[in-house]
Structure 1
Amino acid sequence: MNPLDKLTYDELSLYTNSFSESKCIGHFQFGKFYRAKFNCPDRERHFVVKIWETGYNVLRLADEVILLRHEMMLNHPSMVQMYGFCADGEHLGVMYEFQASDSVYNLIAKDSFTWLQRIKVALGIASLLKFLHTGYLRYLPLIVRNLDAAHILLDEYGYPRLCDFSMATGGILPDRTVHKNDHVNGCYSHIDPYAGKKGKYSDKQDVFAYGVILLGLITKKVYTEEDRQAQLPFVHEWAQREHIANESGSVRKATRRSLVHESLTKDPDFDSADGAEITTMAMECINVCDYERPTMKQVLRSLLTLPVVKQHAPFLRVNKLLHPHKNGL
């Protein structure tokens, strides 16, 4: 395990062209992501710079450094590789080494984001959450707590990387499942409204947030600031109403049970069996009763039965996702 580079804020500014808006990928819960690069003697290296801008983040930075330099976390294909960090006075940030194309949040509503690309995201993040939730050896399961489509960046090959662990608890980190005075409960529109006592967390809150992301992927819906100002329903609220309406219809065909956007059903890689199955899975993840939600192990198992996954297993790196320990974990 190589030591992390300690970077200055001036270096991060240099790599991102003074944090130019043209380099900005998007927002995460506490700040922004930027594309960065610099030239080495042998090649051009690409990075993502994450800068915390709001909140008290010293401990969040420390937790990410601890988490992402641990040997257990180095080789899962949906984990980011941390190159270095910045704790330069009030300026806090990290650098991840990969070339980012865009965030899932930015891509969800776009027609160019294909069915197979969406399944690639769903599968990769499900595999990562299953790995984090399982717990290894003496470690507790790790709960992410702030899953959001905006926190998932795609690399140059379209594979997902989860890029924020600012609220993670358990695993190799201290157990913070009970924070009586913590007013931050997760990411807006992804927060589990059915959670029990405020401040009490379990892996079922991650399952709920994953369900919201999955619904976004199949319905092409994200919750925007304009939606918030107009007081429109969250994606999961809209989905629950639509699903109930479909289930109560007189014709109970698979196409009626599916919430997959009509444009995606015309994708050449879409199978009619995919729609109903993945919709059912997403609805189970956002179940009102958290104890009735599936585990991420069960979600991953269900995803693997989809025709699109069976037909494109090598492209989706199914074997690598199922056996991350063979890559050093």
Structure 2
Amino acid sequence: MTHSNFSYDPLKILLRWLLFLSVFKLSYAIKDPDVEGEALLDLLNYLNDSNNQIDWDSHLVSPCFSWSHVTCRNGHVISLTLASLGFSGTLSPSIAKLNYLVSLELQNNNLSGSLPDYIANLTNLQYLNLADNNFKGSIPTTWNQLSSLMHLDLSSNDLTGSIPMQLFSAPMFNFSDTHLHCGEGFEQSCVPKSDHPASTYKSKHTNVVRFASCGAFAILCLGAIFSYRYHQMHRHKSDIFANVSGEDERKISFGQLRRFSLRELQVATKNFSESNVVGQGGFGKVYKGILSDNTKVGVKRLSDYNNPGGEAAFEREVQLISVAVHRNLLRLIGFCTTTTERILVYPFMKNLSVAYRLRDLKSDEKGLDWATRKKVAFGTAHGLEYLHEQCNPKIIHRDLKAANILLDDEFEAVLGDFGLAKLVDARMTHVTTQVRGTMGHIAPEYLSTGKSSEKTDVFGYGITLLELVTGERAIELSRLQEEEDVLLIDHVKKLVRENRVGDIVDKNLENYDTKEVETIIQVALLCTQGFPEDRPTMSEVLKMLQGIGLADKWANWKQLEETRNQEFSLMTHQFVWSDESTFDQETIHLSKAR
């Protein structure tokens, strides 16, 4: 095909993207599967979550990012709180792969079978609660290896036999309401739970140790409660939802969030009139609305939430989003749920989005000067740093781009749509691989595996920086006609190699600081490296934007880029293209992304 008869055939564009994805798979080594994540999914399968209480997202690189009931430290799972969830299965051997597990709570379920001996492999386990289940048989003697155990509760199970002596060294334990033989180490039998809430030691000395440990545990609990209350300080005393309608529904609060009636939002948006649409994306349309008190709001009507019966799950996810409060994150005002609608309500941003200010301005509107673009770069970085490193659980955006960065009255960057990817995908159980995002902004490992991490956001942030500098979209097919790279990242890399930095800058920018432009371009290219482990964290990005540690990283990048260019040239020369080939030279431009 020649450029003269080139047409935008959707099928051919799709085929080009498939090749683009294939080259990514050839060019990069895919990370090993997350062992702990796979172990947890297998565990959930064995537990038999018939009530669908757990919504773990198998598309994430690690369970530490946003899985419920999971606590992590340094990237490893250390705690599982799975009590009272109606499980009716048993324990999977995969649990032994959770080498860093410190606490396991599975009490008050319907679990059955024998106590597995592979629990003994969890040598870091300090807290184990399997009470109020239907486990049968004896305690495996291998559990003597649990030398770190501080709290053990096996009460109210159909257990028989003797208790391994090593378990008596745990400061706190409970074997009541079982058929276990407590042995001579106890003053009384530990069979009836009603008579003996917890087994006791014979000697006063061990009693002192036990009570001291109870006191320490109580202090830890108080600390946990204090921490919980601190993080919930903005919540209302009651989070109870009632099935109400009409005027009464306005009075229901979810913490500081307001629960709107559908009728109220219909009135505010003129029945979701198309004339009130101010934005549209993968999650649905955004409408400008005016409430009865004349407050201007943005009303996001989620398109993926048309299945009935998901109100409670939606409300839980909204709660998670609502606790993320930062000056560079869009604040959630309230929400609305019906049997078929899921709607979020935000403050209205009169300056709309960065993408609008870069490319879609009306003739009488003001664009973004360099100082504002630089402020947007820093503000977005601060917002992402908060989501990745300060939120608990972490929140991954998965669709970072200029269109999702809004501008407040002072043109401060306000990151929108954060958390919505998880919120929507969590309920789409029929989808096996759900890649959220916009082509050109999606990291290669996310395209290849469907699994995201905070480093996929870093990639999207790097592309967004290039949008700020160039004013261009991440993909521009019109450049094919000029035999230029379609992907913005490749286009910028080419100009950097040719020392044409001035040609990178948006032609609409009249004044800018060349040194600052170079800094942002360098940070952008460091953020968009092919391997996620090579990309910086957002806290590192903020330092580099200030020039701290940038010089050495940039020197290493240039050296590595030169090596990869040589390798890529060798690889592309090994392709044999025939005259009848479906793909042409234009396809190579699409597949050169690294």
Pairwise same-fold verdict (TM > 0.5): yes
CA deviation string 1:223-258 (max 9, x = no partner): 57x849x899999823323323431x3xx4xx6377
Match of 2:513 among 271, 276, 290: 271
Q: Is the 8 A contact 1:208 1:286 kept in 2?
A: yes
Matched, 1:102 2:361: no
What CA distance in whole angstroms lies between the structure 2 residues aligned with 1:227 and 1:61? 38
Count residues with an aligned counterpart.
Answer: 283
Residue in 2 aligned with 1:38?
A: 291
Q: Structure 1 residue 206: deviation in Å?
A: 0.4
What CA distance in whole angstroms lies between the structure 1 residues aligned with 2:258 and 2:483? 44
Q: Structure 1 residue 151: deviation in Å?
A: 2.1
Residue in 1 aligned with 2:420?
A: 166
What CA distance in whole angstroms lies between the structure 1 residues aligned with 2:522 and 2:439? 24
Matched, 1:121 2:376: yes
Residue in 2 aligned with 1:83?
A: 333
Q: Is the 8 A contact 1:221 1:235 kept in 2?
A: no
Residue in 1 aligned with 2:453?
A: 202
What CA distance in whole angstroms lies between the structure 1 residues aligned with 2:431 and 2:291? 44
Percent identical across equivalent pairs?
29
Q: Structure 1 residue 39: deviation in Å?
A: 4.7
What CA distance in whole angstroms lies between the structure 1 residues aligned with 2:279 and 2:482? 23
- Partner of 1:143, secondary structure, is coil
Residue in 2 aligned with 1:284?
A: 526
Match of 1:15 among 263, 268, 289: 268
Distance 1:117 1:281, change over 3 A: same
Q: Is the 8 A contact 1:236 1:286 kept in 2?
A: no
Q: Structure 1 residue 55: deviation in Å?
A: 6.0
Q: Structure 1 residue 195: deviation in Å?
A: 4.0
Equivalence map 1:1-329=2 (5 Å): 1=234, 2=236, 3=253, 4-40=257-293, 44-54=294-304, 61-62=314-315, 64-70=317-323, 73-74=324-325, 76-109=326-359, 110=361, 112-135=367-390, 139-164=392-417, 165-168=419-422, 181-195=432-446, 198-223=449-474, 227=477, 237-247=487-497, 249=498, 252=499, 256=501, 259-264=504-509, 266-267=510-511, 270-305=512-547
Distance 1:257 1:34, change over 3 A: same
Quick one: which amino acid aligns to residue 421 of structure 2? M
What CA distance in whole angstroms lies between the structure 2 residues aligned with 1:288 and 1:193? 7
Distance 1:16 1:129, change over 3 A: same
- Partner of 1:260, secondary structure, is coil
Q: Is the 8 A contact 1:103 1:151 kept in 2?
A: yes
What CA distance in whole angstroms lies between the structure 1 residues aligned with 2:381 and 2:482? 28
Distance 1:291 1:199, change over 3 A: same
Distance 1:236 1:87, change over 3 A: farther
Q: Is the 8 A contact 1:219 1:260 kept in 2?
A: yes
Q: Structure 1 residue 278: deviation in Å?
A: 0.7
Distance 1:290 1:56, change over 3 A: farther
Q: Is the 8 A contact 1:259 1:275 kept in 2?
A: no
Q: Is the 8 A contact 2:306 2:340 kept in 1?
A: no
What CA distance in whole angstroms lies between the structure 2 residues aligned with 1:149 and 1:106? 8
Q: Structure 1 residue 25: deviation in Å?
A: 1.5
Q: Which 5+ residue runs of structure 1 have no aligned equivalent?
A: 307-329
Q: Is the 8 A contact 1:223 1:234 kept in 2?
A: no
Q: Structure 1 residue 271: deviation in Å?
A: 1.1
What CA distance in whole angstroms lies between the structure 1 residues aligned with 2:485 and 2:316? 30
| Higher-Rg member (1/2) | 2
Quick one: which amino acid aligns to residue 23 of structure 1? N
What CA distance in whole angstroms lies between the structure 1 residues aligned with 2:483 and 2:358? 18
Q: Is the 8 A contact 1:135 1:142 kept in 2?
A: no
Distance 1:187 1:154, change over 3 A: same
Aligned-residue CA RMSD in angstroms?
3.5
What CA distance in whole angstroms lies between the structure 1 residues aligned with 2:377 and 2:486? 16
Distance 1:231 1:9, change over 3 A: farther
Q: Is the 8 A contact 1:34 1:49 kept in 2?
A: yes
TM-score (norm 2): 0.43
Q: Is the 8 A contact 1:154 1:161 kept in 2?
A: yes
Distance 1:22 1:158, change over 3 A: farther
Q: Structure 1 residue 129: deviation in Å?
A: 0.7
CA deviation string 1:95-126 (max 9, x = no partner): 11344321222222257222222222211110
Give the structure, 1 or 2, with the largest relative contact order (CA under 8 Å, sep 6 or more).
1
What CA distance in whole angstroms lies between the structure 2 residues aligned with 1:239 and 1:201? 20
Q: Structure 1 residue 159: deviation in Å?
A: 1.7
Distance 1:155 1:196, change over 3 A: closer
